[in-house]
A = this chain, B = another copy of it.
């Protein structure tokens, strides 16, 4: 019998560099997975979908296509309403790409698409730190700052599918100009890996304090180096994280007063710095909240393995829809 309990969903995570996939059962276990597709090598999305099919076909045959309920895809600027990827700046296909339709036609399976941060939030809700929660926000702090907001147990997609772009909200009036959007003072300009690198360079320029970071050429400094120097106790590198936490904490306070979540789940490379960033984040979050919101909202790290989370989240779309 073909009940949900022996069915699979395919989860696909399309990133700017690589695309990962996995076959996920209803308990959230990834039974087969792979990551051998280089997204940026495909100028034509049709070629990408064809190669994706060729990679997955042998496993589909082993599992049996009748046991596969569908395909869920997370991608930057993925739109759940239209199934299209719209003007994703980090993917080789510009304009509007009807990815869900292309995948569905090629595989002969239903395909659901959403943006990568919403997929991560869905994964957290079904298999991660947000299990059983009806109100939470997931913030991914990676190359950029992504987010997914769940209220009343449902993802907030908004009128056009683009809700939850919290990384682009303005947290510093007339602040740092974003390298790509041109917005001034948006959260992403500070709390992303790129933002951390920029903060480090600014601090090095505006002080004479000795720092391990001065052993590197300015153009060589990146968030990984800042992290390593901070772990070695370097004061400027630690100040980078303190400042980043201050900005992030203020932004989280605003988000809490919007949707009053039970928890905010943080995710992505930036949180590797642990308490160095979390302590100031929590301090400035609480400080900027009305008393009725204080000491209520859990600030937690994702429980999911980073590589798995996106695949699980994308596959969760299939069970949800």
Contact = CB atoms under 8 A, between A and B. Distances in A.
Interface in A58-109: 77, 86-87
A290 interface: yes
Contacts of A291: 87
Contacts of A158: 135, 151, 259-261
A149 B250 contact: no
A238 interface: no
Q: State the oligomeric state as a number of copies.
A: 2
B170 A253 contact: yes
Nearest to A292: B162
A29 to B, nearest CB: 30
A143 interface: no
A215 interface: no
A158 to B, nearest CB: 2
A258 B164 CA distance: 5
Interface string A245-265: 000001001110111111000
Contacts of A163: 135, 151, 258-260
A4 interface: no
B173 A250 contact: yes
B162 A293 contact: yes
A162 B297 CA distance: 12
Contacts of A292: 77, 86-87, 160, 162
B160 A296 contact: yes
Given A135-B158, A154-B152, A258 B166 contact: yes
A257 B159 contact: no
A7 B159 CA distance: 33
Contacts of A134: 159
B181 A290 contact: yes
B156 A262 contact: no
A258 B169 contact: yes
A258 B181 CA distance: 17
A156, A166, A168, A257 pick with most chain B CB within 10 angstroms = A257
Interface in A137-170: 149, 151-152, 154, 156-166, 168-170
5 contacts: A77-B292, A135-B163, A149-B258, A156-B258, A158-B261
Given A152-B154, A159-B262, A161-B260, 5 more contacts: A134-B159, A152-B156, A164-B260, A169-B253, A173-B175
